[in-house]
Amino acid sequence: MKWKGGSITYIYDEDQCRCKLGLCVEACGQGVLEFDEGKEKMRIGNTVQCIFCRQCEEICPYQAISIEGALTLEDIRTAFV
Ligand code: SF4
Ligand code: SF4
């Protein structure tokens, strides 16, 4: 799954989600990520809350998450209007 926030693209490869622990869910301080107990995989929740801090990307031992790009000044400006 893939979604865009401003100039950033958030990519989640569910096939690579294999830790079965939800490490990224615990790491996300914004409550964006959820853990599907049945599938034992992460699922993306409320993307509006994401601040692109990359904590989830860093903690994932299987590189299931990648965040590409960086917020531009224009992104930041439009987020506050
Ligand atoms: S840390 Fe990685 S492997 Fe573990 S639940 Fe999150 S996406 Fe899946
Ligand atoms: S980038 Fe940060 S805020 Fe966004 S889902 Fe990952 S940990 Fe949560």
Give me the average pLDDT of each 10-residue run along the chain (81 residues). Answer: 90 98 97 97 95 96 96 85 68
Single pTM value for the model: 0.91
Inside any domain, residue 55: yes
Residue nearest to atom 8 of ligand 1 (CA): 17
- Tell me how many domains the chain contains: 1
DSSP E strands, the chain = 2-5, 8-12, 33-36, 41-44, 65-68
In 3-state terms, what secondary structure has residue 15?
Answer: helix
pLDDT on residue 78: 85
Domain that holds residue 39: 2-75
Number of alpha carbons in the 13 Å side-chain half-sphere of residue 41: 13
Inside any domain, residue 25: yes
Residue nearest to atom 6 of ligand 1 (CA): 24
pLDDT on residue 68: 95
Residue 8 CA to ligand 1 center (angstroms) comes to 20
Inside any domain, residue 35: yes
Question: Are 57 and 69 a contacting pair, CB within 8 Å?
Answer: no
Inside any domain, residue 81: no
**Which atom of ligand 1 has the smallest separation from the CA of 42?**
5
pLDDT on residue 23: 98
Inside any domain, residue 29: yes
CA 37 – CA 21 distance, rounded (Å): 9
